[in-house]
Amino acid sequence: MRASRRATLATVAGALVLVAAGCGGDDSGGTTTATGGLRPPKLEALKTLGPGEGQVNLVAWAGYVEDGSNDPKVDWVTGFEKATGCQVNVKIGNSSDEMVQLIKSGQYDAVSASGDASLRLIAAGDVAPVNTALIPNYKDVFDGLKNQPWNTVNGVNYGVPHGRGANLLMWRTDKVSPDPDSWSVVFDPSSPYKGKITAYDSPIYIADAALYLMATRPDLGIKNPYALDDKQFQASIDLLKQQKGTIGEYWVDYLKEVQAFKSGDSVVGTTWQVIANVAQGEGTPVKATLPKEGATGWSDTWMVATKAKHPNCAYMWLNHIISPEANAAVAEYFGEAPSNKLACAKTVDPNHCAIFHADDEAYFSKVWYWNTPIQQCLDGRTDVRCKNYAEWTQAWTSLRNS
Amino acid sequence: MSGTVIEEREVVRSARSPRRTSGFLHRHRWLQLSGLLSAPMLWLLVAYLGALAMMFITAFWTTDPFTNDVIRVWSLENFKQLVSDRAYLNVAVRSVVVASLVTLVCAVIALPMAFFMARVVRPRWRGAFVVAVLTPLWASYLVKVYAWRVMLQTDGVLDSLLRPIGLSSPGFGLAAIVIVLTYLWLPYMILPVYAGLERLPDSYVDASSDLGARTARTFRSVMLPMVFPSLVAGSIFTFSLSLGDYITAQIVGGKVQLIGNVVQTNIVLNLPFAAAVATIPVAVMVIYLAVVSRTGALDNL
């Protein structure tokens, strides 16, 4: 017995020594934003567009790459596959964190990144600059979306805009009355819907709490929900802790939220328009609205991975998804404002662009696009240090387990 | 005469090579043993221990807070963070409590079922019962958990069953997690207990009643101690499987998080921290197995 125990210990120690010898010790080459601005590594954009490689692997939000398998009438992929010969394989990312991880694996060619993922990908060198001269449809993109801080760094363009929208408040019309118009219905500690409220399960949801505090606690002086100093951050976390008592379920999988609303386990909470559309399609009586305090939202960018194995097909996809027909189809299905001016003429509902404020910059000034919180405050303050995304993640994990 | 000698020599010559090898190996036993064990040892060392070692080493590294790239610089930061934040202690305690509850409930349900299968059912039908117990294992894990989600939801199956007697479905939460995990791991508890009870000689029970013990006393003093090692074997399955589970918590847990969920949310972008969190269930299992082997139950398996 003793001899075999010694042998086991020796084996384990041996394994550890082997592994330790093989790694450890060297610094990472990554660039950080600890002090100065973003310093992405120098990468080259594709110079010329060659022939398609036969397939393209995409990471996308649910509802962005539809090939008719969810709804036979919703399909803007099959035509692309026939025209370019690039077979589309899509992996749905449920959150920005998941998308960053998937792109880092090096197995995908393009990603529809929101603002809280795009800067991280750019800084780590996971995405390459995009040569917009190779994308003919780029010229028709709304000017308000081009060259924005989340897709352009130091004058270098890293992607093409997909569209933008807001995170809405959804409720069961038969279980919630009167129709809510404010986020107070999910942040009220004595809410009548206690135990049936839902919220997005991601650290970025802290910004939603900060947004609510912007309207209800002006004394905190929050100017940008992604630029929170110690006091503002603590106030947001306290609000979320208080909300947790009323929450029934946090959602990250959009189909689980659809099912939760359908069964009545959730009756009010944060949502995307596509979730409301799918739920209504299944016969659930729901409605969604942009509350009066404004909302967080997203402005997504299609980016090409540095390690893309099929770069030509990736560029062809980028050009296709912002073409007027495809952009109109995805904007209507998902429920967001398209990025291509000419898409507004192609939507089935002629008022789509008006409803979603496609070129209404004043409206989108009330929508705070998902952004990556960094130490230098995004609202321009230099006298305080803001919380970075790692601290947001730690606080969120702490909150979920407290 | 000469024909047979020549044939004999040919037979010996043709049999020489394999005889040589087996003779050589017979003289060098260690070579034979290591040859036989090389494949499983390779698997154990490289695939299993090597992977575990790799994970623990990762726990001593950190990540760049912005790009989430792993920085291979040795530090104890992850462990410091684990210890300093109460939330991780909470989730660890919660996971151990869930695993213990699941083990307990599984044992309570498995014992009567296994007893029925081993000692009451006619020997002809025992096989059918074993098959019946094993059949749910063939169904996909996700299918089973989602089926339970549908049963637990408001106005679902449980609600309609319990409303008439004034109760209601527990909904999504800790109770749901315990119920579903118990359901999932019950076959792993029933089978060892069934095997243990089947091995129990009838003569022991007869002797016990001859000595004047009633059924309850026989059960307590004769059967339970003999079936205890089987219960322990089953409990190792249920405890360790429940300790690391995160999918059930995600699907029916509502807002409850177990230690597996913490690892899962961090493994995406903070692998070193996830590795540090993962050392907790390993430590718990080591302690559990040490306690279990102390009771001597493992010796009698």
Q: Where are the domains of chain B?
A: 2-58, 77-300
Averaged pLDDT, B64-74:
81
Nearest by Cα to B152 from B168, B166, B163: B168
> If contacts are CB pairs under 8 Å, which of residues 259-278 in chain A contact chain B?
263-265
d(CA A298, CA A113): 9
Averaged pLDDT, A271-291:
91
Enter the tokens of residue A318. 């980028």
pLDDT in tens, B225-243: 889 989 999 999 999 999 9
Reported as a pLDDT band with limits 50, 70 and 90, residue B44 is confident
Reported as a pLDDT band with limits 50, 70 and 90, residue A130 is very high
d(CA A309, CA A289): 41
Q: How many CA atoms lie within 13 A of A119 on its CB side?
A: 24
**pLDDT greater at residue A13 or residue B258:** B258
> If contacts are CB pairs under 8 Å, which of residues 135-194 in chain A contact chain B?
none
Q: Please determine, for residue A206, whether its predicted confidence score (pLDDT) is greater than 80.
A: yes
Nearest by Cα to A118 from A374, A375, A372, A385: A372
Averaged pLDDT, A280-307:
92
Q: Please determine, for residue A23, whether its predicted confidence score (pLDDT) is greater than 60.
A: no
Flag whether residue A32 sits within 8 Å of chain B, measured between CB atoms.
yes
Cα-based torsion angle of the residue sequence A144, A145, A150, A152 in order, rounded to the nearest 10 degrees: -90
- What are phi and psi for residue A128, nearest 5 degrees? -100, 155
Nearest Cα of chain B lies from the Cα of A401 at a distance, in angstroms, of 5
Give the pLDDT confidence score for residue A14 in this predicted structure: 53
Q: Which of B15-19, B22-26, B240-244 has the highest mean pLDDT?
A: B240-244
**Nearest chain A alpha carbon to B57:** A20
Q: Please determine, for residue B2, whether its predicted confidence score (pLDDT) is greater than 70.
A: no
**pTM score:** 0.79
**Nearest chain B alpha carbon to A264:** B154
Give the pLDDT confidence score for residue A21 in this predicted structure: 45
Output the CATH code of domain A55-165+297-369.
3.40.190.10
Give the pLDDT confidence score for residue B67 in this predicted structure: 74
Q: Please determine, for residue A36, whether its predicted confidence score (pLDDT) is greater than 80.
A: no
How would DSSP label each residue in A11-31?
HHHHHHHHHHHHS-SPPP---
Averaged pLDDT, A145-162:
89
CB–CB of B255 and A98 under 8 A? no
Q: Cβ(A159)–Cβ(A301) under 8 Å? A: yes
Enter the tokens of residue A266. 């959730």
Q: Please determine, for residue A30, whether its predicted confidence score (pLDDT) is greater than 60.
A: no
Give the pLDDT confidence score for residue A4 in this predicted structure: 59
Give the pLDDT confidence score for residue A9 in this predicted structure: 62
pLDDT in tens, A253-279: 888 899 999 999 999 999 998 899 889
CB–CB of A393 and B270 under 8 A? yes
Give the pLDDT confidence score for residue A11 in this predicted structure: 55
What is the rounded average pLDDT for all residues in chain A? 87
Which letter does DSSP use for residue A146 in this model?
T
Nearest Cα of chain A lies from the Cα of B93 at a distance, in angstroms, of 11
Reported as a pLDDT band with limits 50, 70 and 90, residue A330 is very high
Reported as a pLDDT band with limits 50, 70 and 90, residue B47 is confident
Q: How far is CA A244 from CA A95, A196, A205, A401, B252, in A?
A: 20, 11, 12, 10, 17
CATH architecture of A168-271+372-401: 3-Layer(aba) Sandwich (3.40)
Q: Which of A38-52, B58-72, B161-175, B237-251 has the highest mean pLDDT?
A: B237-251
d(CA A74, CA A89): 17
> If contacts are CB pairs under 8 Å, which of residues 37-96 in chain B contact chain A?
45, 49-50, 53-54, 56-57, 60-61, 63-74, 81, 85-88, 90-91
ipTM above 0.85 for this complex: no
Those residues whose C-beta lies under 8 Å from the C-beta of residue B231, and which sit 6 or more positions away, are B107, B110, B111, B189, B192, B193, B196
Q: Please determine, for residue A24, whether its predicted confidence score (pLDDT) is greater than 80.
A: no
Instruction: Extract the runs of DSSP E, i.e. beta strands, from A129-178.
Output: 152-153, 156-157, 160-166, 168-172
Output the CATH code of domain B77-300.
1.10.3720.10
pLDDT in tens, B70-81: 888 898 988 998
Averaged pLDDT, A169-183:
94
Reported as a pLDDT band with limits 50, 70 and 90, residue B268 is confident
Phi-psi map region of A90: left, alpha, beta (phi>0 left; psi -120 to 50 alpha): beta
**pLDDT greater at residue B296 or residue A76:** A76
Q: Cβ(A278)–Cβ(A258) under 8 Å? A: yes
3-state secondary structure of A390: helix
Q: How far is CA A53 from CA A84, A88, A104, B170, B298, in A?
A: 9, 11, 21, 53, 58
Averaged pLDDT, B278-301:
85
CB–CB of B72 and A390 under 8 A? no
Give the pLDDT confidence score for residue A238 in this predicted structure: 96
- % of residues, chain B, pLDDT over 70: 94
**pLDDT greater at residue B273 or residue A27:** B273
Give the pLDDT confidence score for residue B16 in this predicted structure: 67
**Secondary structure in 3-state letters for chain B:** CHHHHHHHHHHHHHCHHHHHHHHHHHHCHHHHHHHHHHHHHHHHHHHHHHHHHHHHHHCCCEECCCCCCEECCCCCHHHHHHHHCHHHHHHHHHHHHHHHHHHHHHHHHHHHHHHHHHHHCCHHHHHHHHHHHHHHHHCCHHHHHHHHHHHHCCCCHHHHHHHHHCCCCCCCCHHHHHHHHHHHHHHHHHHHHHHHHHHCCHHHHHHHHHCCCCHHHHHHHHHHHHHHHHHHHHHHHHHHHHHHCCHHHHHHCCCCCCHHHHHHHHHCCCHHHHHHHHHHHHHHHHHHHHHHHHCCHHHHC
Count of C-beta atoms within a 10 Å radius of residue A136: 11
Q: Please determine, for residue B11, whether its predicted confidence score (pLDDT) is greater than 70.
A: no
Q: Please determine, for residue B173, whether its predicted confidence score (pLDDT) is greater than 70.
A: yes
Contacts of B272 in chain A (CB under 8 A): none
pLDDT in tens, B197-220: 988 888 888 898 899 888 888 888
Reported as a pLDDT band with limits 50, 70 and 90, residue B183 is very high
Sign of the CA dihedral with A74 first, then A76, A82, and A85 last: negative
Give the pLDDT confidence score for residue B177 in this predicted structure: 96
Averaged pLDDT, B62-77:
83
Cβ contacts from A onto B, under 8 A: 127
Give the pLDDT confidence score for residue A5 in this predicted structure: 66
Contacts of A16 in chain B (CB under 8 A): 53, 56-57
**Nearest chain B alpha carbon to A31:** B67
Averaged pLDDT, A107-125:
91
pLDDT in tens, A339-391: 999 999 999 988 888 888 888 888 787 889 888 888 888 888 889 999 988 88
Those residues whose C-beta lies under 8 Å from the C-beta of residue A51, and which sit 6 or more positions away, are A312
Where in chain A is CATH 3.40.190.10? 55-165+297-369, 168-271+372-401
Averaged pLDDT, A242-262:
92
Q: Please determine, for residue A103, whether its predicted confidence score (pLDDT) is greater than 90.
A: yes
Flag whether residue B217 sits within 8 Å of chain A, measured between CB atoms.
no
